[in-house]
Amino acid sequence: MKDAALGYAQAQQAQALDDLLALVAIPSVSTSPAHQPDMARAAQWVADYCQRIGLHNVAVMPTALHPLVYAEWLEAGDDAFTLLLYGHYDVQPADPIEKWHTLPFEPTLKGENLFARGASDDKGQFLAVLKAVEAYLQTSGRLPINVKVFIEGEEEISSPSMGEFIKQHQTQLACDAILICDHPMLAADTPMMYYGVRGNCYMQITVRGPGQDLHSGLYGGAVDNPMNVLARLLAQIQDGITHRILIPGFYDRICDIDDEEKALLNDNLFVSADILKMQTGVPAEAGETGYTLAERLAVRPTFEVCGIGGGFTGEGKKTVIPAEAFAKLSMRLVPDQDPREIADLTQLYLSSRLPSTVTMEVEYLGGSHPVVVDYRHPAVQAAHQAYQQVYGKPAVLMRGGGSLPLMWDFQQILRAPIVMMGMGLPDDNLHSPNEKFFLPNYYRGTETIIHYFDLLAAQA
C-alpha cells in the first residue's frame, strides 16, 4: 500500500502543483469583509477536493464567523489509529502590495519556488498532507489509519469561533493525535518539529494624573508626573541584573523540565549566541540568570515593554507634565502559567506600588495559553521515523516561539497529543510580501506523511 502511494505521489507531482496553483489563486483573506465571497470559494474548493479524492462525509460547516471544511475516512476500523489533520485555508492580507515582485494572488513559479500569498502558510502545507491521503485512496482505495480532516478559515485572526466549535463537535472530532503542518523546517535538509509553544499575556497600563497636560514650570513640584510614575512602576517589574520578574506568584505554576529535556534543548546546534548576534545585530545576548540561551528561548517566561506613549514626543522641546502615560506589555508564558492569572497578579502588584497621586488602569488585551506535548509520545516518535525515511535524519525538536491559540483548545477538549511537522522554510516570508513555498518541500512533505500514516498504523 505504502509503495503504491509513494509511486502515485511521485507520478502525480504535476497535478499536485496544478491543484496548489488553483487554491492559492483564491484570495481568502479572513480579516477582510470584502473577501467574504473568496473565503466561501476557498472553503468550497477544499471541500470539492476532499470529495474528489474519496474522503467521506465532506461538509463545509458554518461557525460564528468563517466556515470550516470537515471530511473523514474511518474505514480502517475501530481499533485503528485516528489522526485529525489540521490546516487553515485563510491567509494574511497581501499588503503592502507594492513590495511584491509578482502579484500575490497570481501564483508565479520561479525556479523551485512558488510565489503567492498562502503558498507556505498554510495552503501548500495542508494540501501536501491531503495529497498523502489522495495517494493512498487513489491506489489502494483505503488508508492504513482513520483520518479526520479539519481545515479552518480563521487561523490568521486567532480562530475566534474554533474553541466553541471544537467543544460542540467534541465527539465528531475525537482522535488519537492531531497533525498540524504550519511552520518552517530549519533548512531544506533539516526537518524540525515543535513539541510546544509559549503562551502570551498582553496588557496595557495607563497612568493618569492631571486633567490635561500642564506647564512643568507652573506645576512641577506640586503634582505627580504620570510618565515618571509609569517608568518607576515598569522598572519594578523586572530585576535589571538577573532579569527575574519580581511580581509575587509569577513563577508559581511553572513546571521544571527534566535532565533529558534539558539535554535535548541544549544540544540544538541551531541555537547559539553567534547565530543570535548575526540574526539580530545585538552586541551581546541577554536573559534570565541561571538558564542557557536555549532554555531561555523555550522554557522560561519573559517580560517585554513593547511600547510607551504619552506627553510630548515631537521634535524639539516642550515643557509639559503629561496628563497620562501608557505602556504596552507582553509576557511570554510557559506551562502551566495562565494568561489571565498573570494579568491579575501584575495588576495586583502594580496597584500595591501605585502612589495615591495618580490613578491607574490595567487592561488585558488578550492572551494565549502555553502548550507542551510529550515528545516521547509514540505519535511524535513516528513522525521522527517518517522524517528519517525521507530526509535520512530525524527532526530537530524545539519548543516554538509564536503561539497558536487553537492548540490549547485542541489539547484541553480533545485530550490528544499534537504533532507539528512543518514543511516551510525560514525564508518563506510568512505574513510578508513575496511569500513563497519551496516546491521540493511540498512533494517531500507528501512523501513524509505517506510514511507517517504507515508508521502510525504499525503502532496501533
Residues found near Zn ion in the complex (CB under 5 A): 121-122, 182
Give the cell for residue 266.
541544549
Residue 152 or residue 182: which is nearer to Zn ion going by CB?
182
CB of 36 to Zn ion, least distance (A): 20
Instruction: Please write down the HEC assignment for all residues of 330-369.
Output: EEEECCCCCHHHHHHHHHHHHHHHCCCCCEEEEEEEEEEC
How many CB atoms within 10 Å of residue 455? 23
- Contact criterion met (CB below 8 Å) for 375 and 260: no
Residue 121 or residue 261: which is nearer to Zn ion going by CB?
121
The Cα-based distances of 66 to 43, 158, 419 in angstroms read 9, 12, 25
CB of 115 to Zn ion, least distance (A): 17
CB of 118 to Zn ion, least distance (A): 9
User: Which stretches within 209-364 are classed as H helix?
Assistant: 216-219, 226-235, 259-266, 273-280, 293-298, 339-353
CB of 434 to Zn ion, least distance (A): 17
How far apart are the C-alpha atoms of 86 and 420, rounded to whole Å? 10
How far apart are the C-alpha atoms of 358 and 319, rounded to whole Å? 20
Residue 19 or residue 182: which is nearer to Zn ion going by CB?
182
Residue 2 or residue 88: which is nearer to Zn ion going by CB?
88
- Contact criterion met (CB below 8 Å) for 285 and 293: yes
Give the cell for residue 429.
516570508
Residue 69 or residue 135: which is nearer to Zn ion going by CB?
69
Residue type at position 234: L
CB of 182 to Zn ion, least distance (A): 4
| DSSP code, position 74 | -
Residue 182 or residue 428: which is nearer to Zn ion going by CB?
182
Residue 268 or residue 411: which is nearer to Zn ion going by CB?
411
Q: What are phi and psi of 214, to 5 degrees?
A: -115, 155
The Cα-based distances of 251 to 204, 258, 345, 359, 374 in angstroms read 21, 17, 11, 27, 22
CB of 48 to Zn ion, least distance (A): 22
In the chain, the N- to C-terminal Cα span, in Å, equals 17
Residue 128 or residue 135: which is nearer to Zn ion going by CB?
128
Give the cell for residue 302.
519573559
